[in-house]
Amino acid sequence: MNNEIIIFDTTLRDGEQVPGCQLNTIEKIEVAKALEELGVDVIEAGFPISSPGDFKSVVEISKAVTKPTICALTRAVKKDIEVAADALQYAKLKRIHTGIGVSPWHIEHKIRTTPEEIILRAVEAVKYAKKFVEDVEFYAEDAGRADNEYLARVIEAVIKAGATVVNIPDTTGYCLPEEYAEKIKFLKANVKNIDKVIISTHCHNDLGMATANTIMGVLNGARQVEVTLNGIGERAGNTSLEEVVMTLKSHSYLNLHTNINTKLIYKTSRLVSTLMNMPVQPNKAIVGRNAFAHSSGIHQDGVLKKRENYEIINPVDVGINESAIILTARSGRAALKHRIEALGYKLSKDELDGIYSRFLDLADKKKVVNDDDIRILIGEAAQGEQPLELELLQVSCGKSMMPVATVGIRINGEVHVSTATGNGPIDASFTAVKQLIRKNFLLEEFLIQAITRGSDDLGKVHVQLEYKGNNYYGFSADTDIVTASVKALVNALAKINNRD
């Protein structure tokens, strides 16, 4: 049996059926070219009879790409097939994808006909499509809920009529993996000339089993998989291209391979996400933001010692530069040390222990500690013990009350406390500090800056004081901007105190 798995990408047809994710022709061409570069074998470019825009897109994609087969979808209707053939006129490699429902639900309640009439219409559609193209794929819609013996009769009839590919869709995502596997196995064992055609999977993700069903189909004889980038598609989506491709690559002992250049997966995923305005969920396998991110101290330590301890895929293989070590309150010393060294600092064990305690305090206040935060922690540690240090800050303020601040400063080992009011919480705090320090300084500059955009992020504060004709600078950072401001003022005053 052939060990090459054909990648049939339907991002531009089934994937584009997601509400709000429609693309114009220029955007579709951009995606089609990216899919060609990625290495997909078949691009389902659209459903030509559905709209003039879809027809035009199939025409233009047929002109724009040359390596993949260009496929157009139809119903088992002559006019659909004629329009599809016309849309494919410029395609170097062309395929018509026609079909009809085969489950009791579709036969009785959607099409409202008989099982025998379904077979006749299926055969007629395939024969008519063969008049326009050699490569005809037949889809047995809702095959997942179809009786296997009846499904085998339909498939045998369309193979005899000239189908080159037979698609066994789990249209509603109903099947369990073993059920879908049994369905493919049954067709392999009971359909005459099944070995002369390619069996294709087309699984939806309504119960979260699209990839599992697809893999089970492949393991039981399917040699084409119908997929979309990022698993997009109607309702809960389609089988994810990246999941199937990397599953086969990771399990190399299966000896099954694709023509996909996996290093382009992440890039193509981001293109589709951007153009379709459909964000990729952070925990999405392979291409999600957290797919190669580690925040648990135990996991970080393991990954830093040997990546394979917690990663079965090398992120480089899908186009991501490296794993991400995310510093949070659950991170350990090993992760913090790794990040500090990556920033170019070398610390002793005692220095690292001191920064780690500050790191945990900060990590409890905000979700993620970033590189700028670490630089600030290192800078604070380098300052050592100061003659003036903020020990206490309590502020009361609101729309209908006068701001009041109580400040406690350790001056040469002894804590002094003062309370003051002001025009706002920072002004009140600064006034309380002035009452304690009793130096005639002038605040020349006061700058507040957020490091990033998160509401829980560190705020950086720079102050410039003029005292006796000299300028003194103070700096601090904290998740609380009032605290950062007072600490920056005290930092500058400590330098004045050292000089006096």
Is 277 labelled a binding residue?
no
Instruction: Count Cβ atoms within 10 A of the Cβ of residue 113 and give its class: 0-12 exposed, 13-18 middle, 19 or more buried.
Output: middle
> Which of 72, 69, 26 lies closest to 48, judged by CA?
72
Q: What is the C-alpha separation between 116 and 469, in angstroms, rounded?
A: 100
Is 106 labelled a binding residue?
no
214 and 200 Cβ atoms separated by less than 8 Å: no
> Which of 265, 471, 469, 478 lies closest to 361, judged by CA?
478
Is 202 labelled a binding residue?
yes
Q: What is the C-alpha separation between 139 and 155, in angstroms, rounded?
A: 9
Is 204 labelled a binding residue?
yes
352 and 346 Cβ atoms separated by less than 8 Å: no
Binding annotation: 14, 202, 204, 238
Which residues are annotated binding-site positions for Mn(2+)?
14, 202, 204, 238
